[in-house]
Structure formats: structure tokens, C-alpha cells
């Protein structure tokens, strides 16, 4: 199988730490990323939990979104909020 070059950018300190960890594992970064890529393709998912601290994904906002989706799916009219009301929800 043909080999290709894959280039990524990352924080210099993170790369240094990752290089050292890979070395502790007895492999190089290329091998580590190849293992990662094979696991993603085989499992068809990222092999670890990914979360976000983005306020969009806050519990309050997700509950509000689900409330709107449920209202829409049940035929109710949409829920209207002003910008100020939406900002207040984001602060919760």
C-alpha cells in the first residue's frame, strides 16, 4: 500500500509531551497516529469521549433546545425568545 505524508499543527509543548509519551510506549508519533486512525476506521467512532465546555452544550441550553424540538414535533408553534432572554439562558 502506498504511503502518504500527513501533516498536522499542534502546540509545541503538547508535541514535546506527546513525543516523550510515545517514546515511553516504545513507538514514534507516526505509529501512534496510525494506531489511532486504524481504531477510528475499524470502530467508526473516536475511541475516547469528547466533550465541550462551549456554553452551547450546557445542560440548560440542551434542555431548552429539546423543549423547542418537542414543541415543534407535537405541532405547537415555535418558541420565541429575545436576544436578552437567550443570553440569560446562556448564563445559567
- Looking at residue 67, its pLDDT comes to 86
Cβ neighbors of 41 (< 8 A, separation 6 or more) are none
Residue 3 forms part of a structural domain: no
- Looking at residue 52, its pLDDT comes to 63
**Computed from CA positions of residues 74, 80, 81, 83, in that sequence, does the dihedral angle turn out positive or negative?**
positive
Residue 16 forms part of a structural domain: yes
- Give every residue of the chain whose pLDDT is below 70, as ranges: 50-52, 77-79
Residue 62 forms part of a structural domain: yes
- Looking at residue 17, its pLDDT comes to 95
- Looking at residue 79, its pLDDT comes to 65
Give the separation between CA 57 and CA 51, rounded to whole angstroms: 9
Question: Which cell is 14 given?
Answer: 503538547
Give the separation between CA 63 and CA 52, rounded to whole angstroms: 16
- Looking at residue 78, its pLDDT comes to 65
Residue 50 forms part of a structural domain: no
Indicate if 36 and 59 belong to the same structural domain.
Answer: no
Residue 31 forms part of a structural domain: yes
- Looking at residue 73, its pLDDT comes to 82
Count how many domains the chain has. Answer: 2
**Domain region containing 71:** 55-91
Residue 2 forms part of a structural domain: no
Amino acid at each position: 500500500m502506498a504511503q502518504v505524508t500527513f501533516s498536522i499543527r499542534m502546540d509545541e509543548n503538547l508535541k514535546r509531551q506527546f513525543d516523550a509519551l510515545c517514546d515511553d510506549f516504545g513507538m514514534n508519533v507516526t505509529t501512534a497516529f496510525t494506531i489511532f486512525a486504524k481504531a477510528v476506521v475499524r470502530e467508526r467512532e473516536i475511541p475516547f469521549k469528547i466533550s465541550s465546555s462551549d456554553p452551547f452544550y450546557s445542560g440548560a441550553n440542551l434542555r431548552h433546545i429539546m423543549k423547542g424540538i418537542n414543541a415543534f414535533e407535537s405541532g405547537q408553534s415555535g418558541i420565541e425568545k429575545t436576544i436578552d432572554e437567550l443570553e440569560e439562558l446562556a448564563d445559567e
